[in-house]
Amino acid sequence: MKQNHFLSQRTKASVTKEKSLSKVDPLFHLALLLGLIALLFMFIPKAQAADEGQFMVGALGGNVSLLGDIGEEGGNDLGYGGLLGYAVRDDILANVQYTRSEHKDLSHSEISAGADVLVGLIDPAYTYVSFGVTLVSNEIDFTLPSLIKEKVSSEAFGVYFGGGVDFEITKNLMLGLQGRYNYVFETEEEVNGLSQKIVESNITILARLTFFFGNEIQAW
């Protein structure tokens, strides 16, 4: 009988060792993303933003890519969620975001708090960089050798870095694309006597539709 991917993978120690050696260190992804953010600051002109004090509400949808051991099977899937924002300055939008996604044998959700910082304007596109903290929660269905299913869940804190672009649709409505690298301090749980990774880092690429209350958009 076919065993659950997550459990059977751990029982093959030599295969797991070879795969772990071939993986790219998550810190490499982080360094690459920070380099791209630095390029944005260097080459995109500064833009004037909207009035501080504006509120924003939005919807999200796109791809959630799980990394590491838990992402080796069914790592990419549809994610969706929402966000709330508040312009604390004319070029800084503080926000809280929630997303969730369903993968093979795994349910994933995360809630984050951080800021989008406006870095440039190429009318009608507004570019920004993002950073903040995140709480990631995963629930995995393991199939034990006895064919009994066991649900294991865990949470982990992390940080995120990213950026995106928004396009003005109407005076208060924007449509855009955001990308984030969520670097998570991974967690493990014991399943059937074996240590299993439950939460690891991930990458999200999501379309976002946002509505701003009050004055019409100058940048956001």
Residue 205 has pLDDT above 90, yes or no: yes
CB neighbour burial string for 47-61, b if at least 16 within 10 angstroms, e if fewer: bebbeeebebebebe
Residue 84 has pLDDT above 60, yes or no: yes
What digits encode the pLDDT tens for the residues 134-179?
A: 999 988 877 766 666 777 888 999 999 999 999 988 888 999 999 9
Q: Which domains does the chain have, with CATH numbers?
A: 5-212 (2.40.160.20)
Chain centre distance of CA 70: 15
- The pTM for the full model equals 0.74
The values of phi and psi at residue 31, to 5°, are -65, -40
Residue 18 has pLDDT above 50, yes or no: no
Residue 76 has pLDDT above 90, yes or no: no
Name the pLDDT band for 20 (thresholds 50, 70, 90): very low
Percent of the chain whose pLDDT exceeds 90? 40
75, 181, 185, 206 from 130: Cα distances, Å:
23, 10, 19, 13
